[in-house]
Amino acid sequence: MPLQKDFLWGGAVAANQAEGAYKKGGKGMALVDILPSGKERWDALFHPNKVLETTYHHYPSHEAIDFYHSYKEDIKLFAEMGFKVFRTSISWPRIFPNGDELEPNEAGLQFYDDLFAECQKYGIEPLVTLNHFDTPLYLVTEYGGWRNRKLVEFYERYAKVVFERYKDKVKYWLTFNEINMLLHIPFFGGGLIIDEDENADQVKFQAAHHQLVASSLATKAAREINGDKFMIGCMLAAGEIYPYSCHPEDLLKSVKENQKQYFFIDVQSRGAYPSYTTRMFRELNVELKMKEGDESLLKEYPVDFISFSYYSSRLTSADPEINAGEKSGNAFGSLDNPHLEASEWGWQIDPVGLRVTMNNLYDRYQKPLFIVENGLGAVDKLENGTVADDYRIDYMRDHLKQMIEAVDDGVELLGYTSWGCIDIVSAGSGEMKKRYGFIYVDRDNEGNGTGKRYKKKSFDWYKKVIETNGTDL
């Protein structure tokens, strides 16, 4: 079965990984602006208390690929590929430099006005994430990040300002990028610095509650500002967790692990804490503090669609000895699946897993899905002004085939934006070397290079995919 005629093909980036210009136009610091690159970054992400006192030699977000200045030429290239949609995020600290101001920063607002106008010029629909790993740093150091309920109010103010400002330019919004990342990299997702003697689960789930409330408040504001013209989505770092074997205990373990990821979307989409959380919280010693009105708010303002990133499936066992072999190179630990190959960064490649994930998400929520991240991070070699990235084409072709199968299975799908459609800084490693793009950017891990853009082989391939609405892969 072919994809719908108005299927939204495109690509995705995030402000902090693309824009650079980290202090331009009155922008404040984001939490990601104090993170280094390479191995140090991974260490930093899990010891954020050390980061605040450390000076690193390179901060990749400070310049990134300088999209702040090059967006016109970059969007022109996206248009050349035929993009119908472009996903990016608004940098919260460009709009509210510290996060707790009452009035927004006009220069920041103007930047996104211009950026979205540039998309409009080519008929490209922007898909905008409100918070993509870049909570204002000040809210982390002064307020303790999302553990503090005050952030709900600051976020709501921010959401209202941008909804009001861009209501004629942007239709699709995502409230939080990979909201379940809060459990895996709490500093990224929630600006959380957790002491060793604290119950980490307590801190994380309380912060999650604040984000869930904030997400509903944003949806409420969206309805008030633009009625049903806005489409508000949640965003899950997806990827089914498979049982290691057909042992019933393994299957049970995978069910429980999957619930822990779905938890966020269960609340955002169905509008209530699922019944399994009672036991889950009891076993984790979590006691949520809720305010009166929270539950009815969640109920009344669920999301309109379910967006997700998909890179890999995962694998878990109920046997602690077997599970000790889990790899944590990715944010999500996983056992090695003997049936799958892995990328150069050890992410296991599983196109069928995308179809599995889509079926499960659609069965569970019965709301339209949107794939907003998918792609292969790989080392590319620029030769004669291009990159022969057949490995990337293969990865994407295999995934798109399974995506189309899932649509044939009956899944309602709004669109597909491949991750890092132009090379950007990697979120997990801070490297430029881990490239996802159709467009090569001449910049290395240390930030050296001309910044010049080159079309890879995949550029023309994707152009054809879009032109033929996925019938010629």
Q: Please list the active-site residues.
A: 178, 373
Report the C-alpha gap between 24 and 170 in whole angstroms: 23
CB of 177 to ligand P53, least distance (A): 5
The SS3 call for residue 274 is coil
Judged by the rule CB under 6 A, the positions of this chain that interact with ligand P53 are 14, 17, 177-178, 237, 309, 311, 330-331, 373, 377, 419, 426-429, 434
Cβ pair 271, 299 in contact under 8 A? yes
Which two structure tokens, joined as six digits, stand for 155? 């976020």
Looking at the Cβ atoms of 104 and 437, the one nearer to ligand P53 is: 437
Count of beta carbons in the 10 Å neighbourhood of residue 267:
26
Residue written as tokens 């949107």? 370
Taking CB positions, which residue lies at the least distance from ligand P53?
428
CB of 379 to ligand P53, least distance (A): 12
Looking at the Cβ atoms of 61 and 330, the one nearer to ligand P53 is: 330
Report the C-alpha gap between 190 and 184 in whole angstroms: 10
Compute CA 23 distance to the chain's CA centroid, rounded to the nearest angstrom.
23
Report the C-alpha gap between 337 and 350 in whole angstroms: 10
Give the strand pairing for 305-309 and 314-316.
unpaired
CB of 294 to ligand P53, least distance (A): 27
Looking at the Cβ atoms of 177 and 417, the one nearer to ligand P53 is: 177
CB of 373 to ligand P53, least distance (A): 6
CB of 425 to ligand P53, least distance (A): 8
Looking at the Cβ atoms of 221 and 424, the one nearer to ligand P53 is: 424
Q: Which residues are CB-neighbours of 415 under 8 A, at least 6 positions away?
A: 7, 8, 9, 10, 84, 85, 127, 370, 371
The interaxial angle of helices 106-121 and 67-81, nearest 10 deg, is 20
Cβ pair 428, 42 in contact under 8 A? yes
CB of 431 to ligand P53, least distance (A): 8
Strand partners, 383: 386
Report the C-alpha gap between 379 and 275 in whole angstroms: 45
Looking at the Cβ atoms of 263 and 311, the one nearer to ligand P53 is: 311
Handedness of CA 329, 435, 438, 32 (dihedral sign): positive
Looking at the Cβ atoms of 3 and 369, the one nearer to ligand P53 is: 369
Cβ pair 97, 27 in contact under 8 A? yes
